[in-house]
Amino acid sequence: MSQFVYHRRVQFSETDMAGIVHFSNYYRYMEEAEHAFLRSLGLSVMMTRDDGSVIGWPRVRTSCAYEAPARFEDEIEIRLNVSRKGVKSLTLDMEFWRGETRLARGSLKTVCCIVAHNTELISIPIPPDIDAKIVESPELSDDLA
């Protein structure tokens, strides 16, 4: 998969008093797009294994640079690319578009972790069955600084 595209409509509750999407919502939008991307691959952000342990993807770094405002009722297109797939981590770069206008660019770095009953999170190499489904595809127009 070279690029995953996710659409959503801005809700009134996501805007500030000026009618503009509050900056914090872009992080929610990135998470929604990430979850939809994983579901499109038959995966989830939390996957229970046969032994009862759970594999998840906690965030270790996020960023977002804003370029233009989004407003109530705008339909936003979020373009997600896996810009880096490491042994244990994924970096997902996203662009937010309204028509021909780029609204923002964001990035999530997540680490594959496992947690068993009553234990702490432990980072692990991405399991082969998951790794095989995720394709690295750097395609966004600019890197986030």
- Cβ pair 55, 122 in contact under 8 A: no
Q: In what order do the strands lie in the sheet with 59-66?
A: 4-9, 75-85, 89-98, 101-111, 59-66
Instruction: Give the single-character DSSP code of 145.
Output: -
- Beta-bridge partner residues of 76: 8
Alpha carbons 122 and 31: distance in angstroms, whole number = 21
- Beta-bridge partner residues of 123: 113
CA dihedral 96, 14, 68, 45 (to 10 degrees): -20
Active site residues: 16
